[in-house]
Structure 1
């Protein structure tokens, strides 16, 4: 199946409509897993469902002419980044509404977590990851692939053309840097 996805991505890049139609069913379940993980970090009252996030993310992915699909792992990494962008945009809109309105804050008793606070935390993580990218783009990509894309060290190594050992080292360093950045 890995090779099938890679082959379809190559054919799609070359303009095959048939490859486009065959690709979505093959990647749908994995994209749904990625979306589920992303949404699990969000509040329970989030307006996106897994299906919504998968479809919007896939639509954005497929309509990108600039992406030169390398293989299956690269596709999933970009998919995770796309879903992350969708949720960050949503969180920013939520923050803008909060600043412009006089709505009463909503909380969920089950988790005792404020919706606005969760949106703010997601934005803080995104901004810290952007700062890390300015310092070390490779480490930021490793975090994005691992955390948001749920990719294995081996898949990340394949996409980035590095050893799994290097990826593990970058992951450990990036996690330490982000911990200090977000807690400081």
Structure 2
């Protein structure tokens, strides 16, 4: 007996299969940025992280992607969630030690406070999303999606100048939040 959503799911999987070869190397490079640094704390290699994201995207194959940048942002968000889950599991096992650390996509000057652990960054982004949803989404698109200011601005439907202002404000807010480690 087939599932009523089967045709939509198959179309989504077909779209994912068609797009995947085009974006695989970009996502692999992005995953490499995520796990670079304290590699001994990372149990997933970049290739495994990309493949795990692919499996998650297959489960959600009915998702429609507007363009390549939109797909990369969704895939990068899946990788973020995988790293957050892994950090939480490791944290639970070690009771406060060995949080997974990631290197953020942008250059060191843009990184808010260096390379925060992924769990702290996720908590900070969640808090920022409550205050400034567009800024939080911009951070996700830039750090986790690897998009340029122009690509992220187009994805958000704002002018690049607006995205640049939001970017500066979000970086400053995250830098402060991550350096204090608590609510602001």
User: Whole-Å Cα distance in 1 between the matches of residues 25 and 39 of structure 2?
Assistant: 22
Deviations 1:113-139 (A, max 9, x none): xx3474983211110110000001100
Residue aligning to 1:163: 159
Figure out how many residues of one structure are paired with residues of the other and give that number.
160
| Cα deviation, residue 91, structure 1 | 0.4
Q: 1:133 aligns with which of 116, 129, 135?
A: 129
| Cα deviation, residue 41, structure 1 | 4.8
Residues 128 and 136 in structure 2, CA contact (< 8 A), matched pair in contact too: yes
TM-score (norm 1): 0.77
Greater gyration radius: 1
Residues 31 and 46 in structure 2, CA contact (< 8 A), matched pair in contact too: yes
Deviations 1:57-111 (A, max 9, x none): 11212321563311111111111111011001000000100129xxxx7xxxxxx
User: Whole-Å Cα distance in 1 between the matches of residues 36 and 132 of structure 2?
Assistant: 28
Residues 121 and 178 in structure 2, CA contact (< 8 A), matched pair in contact too: yes
Q: 1:147 aligns with which of 133, 143, 162?
A: 143
| Cα deviation, residue 40, structure 1 | 1.3
Q: 2:66 aligns with which of 62, 65, 70?
A: 70
Residue aligning to 2:24: 28
Distance change in 2, residues 1:97/1:177 (3 Å): same
Distance change in 2, residues 1:41/1:85 (3 Å): farther
CA RMSD between the two structures: 2.5
Unaligned regions of 5+ residues in structure 1, if any? 1-11, 106-114
